[in-house]
Structure 1
Amino acid sequence: MAANKPNKLAFLSMPAPASYVAGLGRGASGFTTRSDIGPAREGPSAEVIAEAQARRGEEPDVDPEQFQDPDNEYGLFAGTTYEADDEEADKIYEQVDQNMDARRRARREARENEELVKHRAERPKIQQQFADLKRGLSVVTDEEWESIPEVGNLTRKKRKKDERSFVVPDSVLVGDRSSGQYENALDPQQQTSGGFETPAESGTLTNFVEMGQARDKVLSLKLDQVSGTSTASGLATSVDPKGYLTSLDSVQIKSDAEIGDIKRARMLFDSLVKSNPKHGPGWIAAACLEEHAGRMVAARKLIKQGCEQCPKSEDVWLEAARLHNNDDAKVILANAVQHVGQSVKIWLAAADLEHDVKAKKRVLRKALEHIPNSVRLWKETVNLESSASDARILLSRAVEVIPLSVELWLALARLETPEKAKAVLNKARKAVPTSHEIWIAAGRLLEQEAQAPGKTDDARKKELDLVDKTIELGVRELRRHQVLLTREQWLKEAEKCEGDGSPRTCEAIIKATVSMDVEEEDRLDTWIGDAEAAESKGKVGTARAILAYALRVFPDKRLLWRRAADLERTHGTRESLSAILERAVHHCPQAEVLWLMWAKEKWMAGDVPAAREVLEKAFVANPESEQIWLAAVKLEAENGELTVARELLVRARTVADTQRIWMKSAVFERQQGQHSMALETLEAALKKFPKFAKLYMIQGQIYQSQKNYPAARASFAAGIKQCPKDATLWILASRLEEADGKSIKARALLDKARLANPGNDQLWAEAVGVEERSGGATQAKTVLARGLQECPTSGLLWSMAIWAEPRPTRKSRSADALRKATDDPLIIATVARLFWAERKIEKARQWFERAVKVNPDLGDVWGWWLKFEQQHGTTEYQEEVIKGCVVAEPHHGHVWQTIAKDTTNIGRNTKDVLDVVAATLH
């Protein structure tokens, strides 16, 4: 009966219903995996399908050609045989099809690509839609990754809370109840009159109040001792009493995250050293981790195991020495040299542990016994020697052991006397014939001998010539031994020699190598570029040598002479500059600018007769030179020789007869107050040169200064008729009308001027000034806006626009101006003045410096900078500005030209004009 009894758990082995999903009843989301449906399998066979169709009463699908006998074919080609010619015909047809397909392939592929692009544009891939977001992930930091929240329940189904409860045992409740109570009764057996009975055998009583007082007293005594106020010892310590309790701040308290990282790293390193115990870096990293964690004992233990496992790793031994104190490190390194006796680092570390010089020497000499071919050990040993003789003996032995070390040979040569040094360098050259350092050292040695005191000029010159021959021979020998240093490497060696105080050796290197690997047609540009690069690095001697060599090759190039003269003016002396210019005019007598530079240098040096002599020679070489005539006139006029200057101008008008000479003649007479003679000169000049606008300007200004407005108006009108494209004539005519009280006519003249000269910012600026002076501020802003539309990159108009704005909006206006005209000096100076107004002194100074670098010929910027330094700078800053302005010699600028050309300022130098401009600007 028991056998026939049904099993109640038999349902567990039954197959699940077809729609059953595990966990669906308790709120889980159902899904199907491969483990649920099993591996992939083939579909039903043809027999199974046919059987199913028969049960449903369906007719099976039959292919009409399924049972066709190939031997009993019917049709047009039934019974034929497939021969070789049929195969050839098929190939021909197939080739024709391929050719036809190839003709349309390009068009078809283009159409397919176009359709694909259109389809991708309408329905882009998900990968393309998120491409920008994926690129953005490259800048996500580790902290942002870690701050991404964990994925929660996204099924939007309410999960049942676990409402199960458990019965708490009574023991827990009783224990918790008694934990919060206090004992408020004393044991009557231990209660005494003075306190509690101590467990001491003597039975004495302890008073805890007195113990507390004693403890406070001891603590105060200790604090007094620490603070140095204790009278018992009378000694003060270096401990800060205020930091006595706060010194715990220096203790590193590691966070839980850092501790977890250390634990994980410890597990990784532990696995590393166990899996590969012969890997030295693993032991080092594990020891460093323990050191970082503050477990020095564990770190030393690990590195000790590393030394045992990796006895041939010098890094492990060095790390072990670092982790131990000095005495233990000595023992460790002593063991290290037993295993890696050829390690230079080990021996050097052992020598560093010694504090006594004798002990260091002993260690290093022991090292040299093991490693005699180490250059570094020899150098360290020599450096420890205090006497030159001992160092020389060591180096002599070193070069015998290591004959290929150029460094040791050079060190030995430096310690020897000049005669012995030559012998040493000869031996070094034979031992190392491929070293260019030895040849350069030989050249420097010869130069030092030549500069020794007590030698005649001829002997010194011969020895310096020997330097050139030595370097030239060295270059040839190096080429013979296939040592091909590049031209750039030789230039670096020359710069190094100059830095080491051997200018003649530097020049010899330049002479021997500067023409290497340079095409003949590129030599001039290449050498100029080399000289500029050397000068930018501060290697003036190298630049001078390059230019000197280039001048020997191209003695008739004016550009080279100008470069050499500018180099001497900036970095040389007056004597060297005068010598260069004298050679320059000898080779280029037709170069007027070189004559003028030479005469000016003589004049600036205070030697006026020498300047006259230079100009006389210049007249002989260039009899019809306008610039030389005018320079001679200026020299005589500014030195008070007015009669001579007038005679020179008369002769110049006869010999040269140029429009500029006629103009300067009129200006000279005007400056001397001879207005009638100036007007006569101008009348004669205008007959010769009716298209020269400056003649009309000077004539009109003379008439205007005499209050002869009709004559001045006629002069300006004649000039405008002859030179309608000269904006300055229009501006002077407008100012004449304005001075005569006819602002309307001045405005009309400027309108006509803008029609004749479209896009001229000076005319627009003058029109704005006319409106401002006539009281129409609104109209001035309108004209300024129109001007900016026509001249959007004008720094002059943008500067006016910035100052026309209210103070809060000037900064944004200046930003717009900088975008429109980035490198305009007027805008940069305006921005500097804005910083000045905001008391940003350093920024203002930087922007003023930037403005004068962009255009040093603008005198108004120099004036503003000097005014700024006079208010906020020191005397050194003011001198620097004045010096820079004198070197630049500016000639342009609205205020600068007005003051420089004023007859009352005739004869003033650049510094005086700069002072007046700075005082005038406001």
Structure 2
Amino acid sequence: MATNKPNKLAFLSMPAPASYVAGLGRGASGFTTRSDIGPAREGPSAEVIAEAQARRGEEQEVDPEQFQDPDNEYGLFAGTTYEQDDEEADKIYDQVDAAMDARRKARREAREQEELAKYRAERPKIQQQFSDLKRGLSSVTDEEWENIPEVGNLTRRKRRRDERSFVVPDSVVVGDRAKGEYENSLDPMQQETGGLATPADSDSLTNFVEIGQARDKILSLKLDQVSGTSTASGLSTSIDPRGYLTSLDSASAMLKTSAEIGDIKRARMLFDSLVKSNPKHAPGWIAAACLEEHAGRMVAARKTIMQGCEMCPKSEDVWLEAARLHNNNDAKVVLANAVQHVSQSVKIWLAAADLESDAKSKKRVLRKALEHIPNSVLLWKQTVNLETSAVDARILLSRAVEVIPLSVDLWLALARLETPEKAKAVLNRARKSIPTSHEIWIAAARLLEQEADRLVNGEPLSPEQRAKELETVDKTIEAGVRGLRKHQVLLTREQWLKEAEKCESDGSPRTCEAIVKACIGMGLEDSEGDRSAMGEDEKLDVWLGDAEAAESRGKMGTARAIIAYALRCYPGRKTLWMRAAELEKAHGTRESLDAILERAVHHCPQVEVLWLMAAKEKWLSNDVNAAREVLARAFGANPESEQIWLAAVKLEAENGEPGAARELLTRARSVADTERIWMKSAAFERQQGQLDLALETLKTALAKFPKFAKFYMIQGQIHESRGNIPQARASYAAGLKACPKVIPLWILASRLEEKDGKSIKARSLLEKARLVNPANDELWAEAVHVEERAATTSSTSQAQAQAKAMLARGLQECPTSGVLWSMSIWSEARPTRKSRSVDALKKSADDPIIVCTVARLFWSERKIEKARTWFGRSVGINEDWGESWAWWLKFERMHGTEEHREEVRKRCVAAEPHHSPMWQSIAKDPQNTGKSIRDLLEMVADALN
């Protein structure tokens, strides 16, 4: 009977429970989809919501930004027009807001400052904690600094343990002792076995160690025998190190790497293809032969180049390469074959002549070459050069100019070999043959110049005859320029000047001068209707530029000729005469300089500088009477000249004639009543010790010229030297009232107060001076010196800090002052001076004081050559600054030789410096009256520290 089984999958067709979530027991979470809730519906609109709120009595929410203007308006004014009154209202509101914000800002900043101060008081910085200790370091002496111990390494180090030693056991000692032993006798067992141990006996095995050592010994002996030495070590060698290296070099020259070999093979294939495809191409054969030479196959190279000679018999390069690759005898054969094919090749004939060893054979080859190539200038030159006889050379050149009449070199060579009379005829023939050659005209002029210097019966020509002969030089060059211009040969002015310099180098100064006369005006002449013609000043600029260029190249004769021509054209130009005088003073003689100055004062009698230069040169040559005569003539031309009067006074005073100098000053005050003459009169009386007379002179001068500051200075210094401080103070006060812009007057007044012990008054005077003369580095430097002297007197750190603060203020007001930067550099500590000097050079690199300070820094660091270079750079920037020369001399005294010191003295005397504080204080001291520049330099160098 069948039974119905329950269906286990019936639950699949049953509906799921209402709270059923699939996979909930495994950790899944339920989710709802659109199909579970049905289609979506739209929500109520804004109008429906508004009606519902109105029925319920609710107020409608207003969006605060619904009336917002996208540009700049908000709220109710979104749609209104922005007018001018609206703009004014907005500005007023902005000002009110800014004022309120400023008030709040001040309070806020004050509150923040209080909080910050409170925070700093509670937590000070580390540098503030040690500030008192840093200030205390200024009082530490050099000995205390040196006694500070070096900081060592105080970290804990691992101590080295004591080495332990142990006693070696006796068994080890005994074993080592028996390790290298061997017995000469056999034990009974070995005797029975004939000296061989039985396999069972392990203690009597054969000692193979000794056998190996013996084998090594024999091998080392054999090696020593082979190497020719008898050492027992076997490590010596008989190889010569020099020969070994030489052999390595020779072997390495032949060895090629695989890459090079591959390149050579590829190149050989290319060249083979080239010469086969184009056998008449000579460079291909030459390249193929060079390749074989590079590969070390000389035989193949010679064979290849000879094939090239057969294929290209008309190429001189192939024959020359073949001669190069063969030895001397074979090369002669090669070139003999070459001249049969290329008989017109000059290179081949010259190469054949070079192969000959003696001069006779060379002549034979070259003469044979001239038979084939008679029009070769090079062959004629080589042939003539081989001749040792002037007669034979003259014969060859005569034939050469017949064959080649257009060769300038051959004509000139023939003219040099002929006598002067015949040389003229040769040059005339050459000029007719080659009318376009300027070299022939120049050679003719040089010949005429040599004729003017010849001796007649053992005596030179008279000056008149010589001048007449030299005039023909000028005429010849002028005729040459006209002839060349006629044949359309127009050389430029620069080309003619080069020819003039060449003539000067060859020893023909008059020809050089003639060329300059004839060509210096080319391109600068005034032509009628030519608007582009140069004016007088432009011409002078061009000529002076040419003279300076010639002088820079060492051609002084050319430079003199250019300036002489300019002086002939414009004799009334002061600058030209001064330039000529400078040139003669630097490179000429004293006689030529006197002649130039004599001509200068003749043409320019109203130029005072020229008279003074002429008188000074006479004075320097120890001809005082001639100097007086020059000044007397100068008085006649310039009776009211202040400079000439003062020069005459100086001449008399320095030559021990004070009475004549005083008389001259008296006459000068009546004739040329100027401030400088009155000042020199007072200074002269002061130097002579006549102080009362000097004061009387100053009193009269002040009545005439109350605005001249140097009168007050001299008056105050005289009272100060007498110890009359009130009178000196009154003089300086009157001077400051009359001339408040004169800086030295303020400095003298300040130093007087400081000397009288009134430093406060000195500071106040300098402060007032800075108000009247702002941004003046001299006043700031003097103020710093006042503080430094006060610090030296009191020895307090506060005074030193005051000096540094004053220096910092001065640099802020005068950021490019060399004096202040120099003081700032030296006020720094030694490690920071270099960086400070770099800042100074950035601010003012062209200041001689800064450059001199840098040189002194190098000096302090013992960098001698650098210091010498920078001292030279300092005096090159400004030769008038005397302290740079003094520092340089002081440096050379310590580190230089006598030649170095003498060079500094000579350059300083030539520069004649007059400025710098130390130099002026020593030079203007009445006790140093009449001292030379050399003496003043030594005194200033002694005074520097």
Tell me the TM-score range normalised by the shorter chain.
0.7 to 0.9
Match of 1:651 among 667, 670, 693: 667
For 1:808 and 1:315, how far apart are their aligned partners in 2?
A: 71
Q: Which moved more, 1:567-576 or 1:265-274?
A: 265-274
Q: Which structure 2 residues correspond to residues 90-101 of structure 1 after superposition, within 5 A? A: none
Q: Deviations over 1:518-553 (max 9, x none)?
A: 134122221111111111111111111111111111
The alignment status of 1:662 with 2:678, answered yes or no, reads yes
For 1:871 and 1:258, how far apart are their aligned partners in 2?
A: 62
Q: Which structure 2 residues correspond to residues 75-114 of structure 1 after superposition, within 5 A? A: none
Aligned position for 2:481: 475
Match of 1:552 among 565, 568, 581: 568
| Letter of the 1:422 counterpart | K
For 1:608 and 1:767, how far apart are their aligned partners in 2?
A: 47
Report if the CA contact (8 A) 2:581-2:597 is conserved.
yes
For 2:483 and 2:503, how far apart are their aligned partners in 1?
A: 20
| Letter of the 1:741 counterpart | G
Deviation at 1:248, TM superposition (A): 3.9
Gaps of 5+ in 1: 1-194, 196-206, 221-226, 228-239
- 1:848–1:282 distance in 2 versus 1, CA, 3 Å: farther
Aligned position for 1:850: 873
Report if the CA contact (8 A) 2:909-2:934 is conserved.
yes
Q: Deviations over 1:199-236 (max 9, x none)?
A: xxxxxxxx99998666444999xxxxxx9xxxxxxxxx
Q: Which structure 2 residues correspond to residues 306-455 of structure 1 after superposition, within 5 A? A: 306-453=308-455, 454=459, 455=461
Aligned position for 2:506: 500
Aligned position for 1:157: none
Q: Deviations over 1:587-622 (max 9, x none)?
A: 111010000000000000000011001100000000
- 1:338–1:664 distance in 2 versus 1, CA, 3 Å: same
- 1:676–1:418 distance in 2 versus 1, CA, 3 Å: same
Q: Which structure 2 residues correspond to residues 755-770 of structure 1 after superposition, within 5 A? A: 755-770=771-786
Aligned position for 2:859: 836
Deviation at 1:921, TM superposition (A): 2.1
For 2:256 and 2:766, how far apart are their aligned partners in 1?
A: 78
Aligned to 1:690, the other structure's residue is in SS state coil
Deviation at 1:725, TM superposition (A): 1.4
Deviation at 1:297, TM superposition (A): 4.2
| Letter of the 2:930 counterpart | G
Aligned to 1:355, the other structure's residue is in SS state coil
Deviation at 1:894, TM superposition (A): 2.0
The alignment status of 1:827 with 2:886, answered yes or no, reads no
| Letter of the 1:870 counterpart | R
| Letter of the 1:469 counterpart | K
Deviation at 1:493, TM superposition (A): 0.7
Q: Deviations over 1:851-909 (max 9, x none)?
A: 22221111111112222222222222222222211111111122211211111211111
The alignment status of 1:567 with 2:583, answered yes or no, reads yes
For 1:429 and 1:697, how far apart are their aligned partners in 2?
A: 77
Q: Which moved more, 1:704-713 or 1:620-629?
A: 704-713
- 1:270–1:758 distance in 2 versus 1, CA, 3 Å: farther
Deviation at 1:266, TM superposition (A): 5.3
Aligned position for 2:893: 870
Q: Deviations over 1:349-390 (max 9, x none)?
A: 222222211122122222222222111111111111111111
Aligned position for 1:126: none
The alignment status of 1:773 with 2:789, answered yes or no, reads yes
Q: Which structure 2 residues correspond to residues 105-184 of structure 1 after superposition, within 5 A? A: none
Aligned position for 1:589: 605
Q: Which structure 2 residues correspond to residues 184-203 of structure 1 after superposition, within 5 A? A: none
The alignment status of 1:795 with 2:797, answered yes or no, reads no
- 1:812–1:287 distance in 2 versus 1, CA, 3 Å: farther
Deviation at 1:712, TM superposition (A): 1.5
The alignment status of 1:899 with 2:918, answered yes or no, reads no
Gaps of 5+ in 2: 1-214, 232-237, 525-532, 792-798
- 1:745–1:391 distance in 2 versus 1, CA, 3 Å: same
Report if the CA contact (8 A) 2:292-2:301 is conserved.
yes
Aligned to 1:839, the other structure's residue is in SS state coil
The alignment status of 1:716 with 2:732, answered yes or no, reads yes
Deviation at 1:430, TM superposition (A): 0.4
Q: Which structure 2 residues correspond to residues 485-524 of structure 1 after superposition, within 5 A? A: 485-518=491-524, 519-521=533-535, 522-524=538-540
Deviation at 1:745, TM superposition (A): 2.1
Aligned position for 2:246: 247
For 1:334 and 1:675, how far apart are their aligned partners in 2?
A: 104
For 1:255 and 1:348, how far apart are their aligned partners in 2?
A: 33
Deviation at 1:461, TM superposition (A): 1.1
Aligned to 2:468, the other structure's residue is in SS state helix
For 1:495 and 1:477, how far apart are their aligned partners in 2?
A: 22
Q: Deviations over 1:91-140 (max 9, x none)?
A: xxxxxxxxxxxxxxxxxxxxxxxxxxxxxxxxxxxxxxxxxxxxxxxxxx
- 1:466–1:764 distance in 2 versus 1, CA, 3 Å: same
Aligned position for 1:267: 266
Deviation at 1:298, TM superposition (A): 4.5
| Letter of the 1:484 counterpart | L
Report if the CA contact (8 A) 2:581-2:596 is conserved.
yes
Q: Which moved more, 1:779-788 or 1:750-759?
A: 779-788
Q: Which moved more, 1:905-914 or 1:251-260?
A: 251-260
Report if the CA contact (8 A) 2:709-2:745 is conserved.
yes
Aligned to 1:243, the other structure's residue is in SS state helix
Structure number with larger C-alpha Rg: 2
For 1:565 and 1:419, how far apart are their aligned partners in 2?
A: 40
- 1:209–1:815 distance in 2 versus 1, CA, 3 Å: closer
| Letter of the 1:878 counterpart | R
For 2:673 and 2:771, how far apart are their aligned partners in 1?
A: 35
For 2:743 and 2:269, how far apart are their aligned partners in 1?
A: 87
| TM-score of the aligned structures, taking structure 2 as reference length | 0.71
Percent identity between matched residues is 70
Q: Which structure 2 residues correspond to residues 203-242 of structure 1 after superposition, within 5 A? A: 215-217=226-228
- 1:215–1:850 distance in 2 versus 1, CA, 3 Å: same
Aligned to 1:613, the other structure's residue is in SS state helix
For 2:825 and 2:608, how far apart are their aligned partners in 1?
A: 44
Q: Deviations over 1:814-838 (max 9, x none)?
A: 2322222222222222222233333
Deviation at 1:779, TM superposition (A): 2.6
For 2:928 and 2:299, how far apart are their aligned partners in 1?
A: 86
Report if the CA contact (8 A) 2:339-2:349 is conserved.
yes
The alignment status of 1:530 with 2:529, answered yes or no, reads no
Report if the CA contact (8 A) 1:595-1:614 is conserved.
yes
Aligned to 1:244, the other structure's residue is in SS state helix
Report if the CA contact (8 A) 1:269-1:282 is conserved.
no
Aligned position for 2:908: 885
For 1:283 and 1:787, how far apart are their aligned partners in 2?
A: 83
Deviation at 1:559, TM superposition (A): 0.8
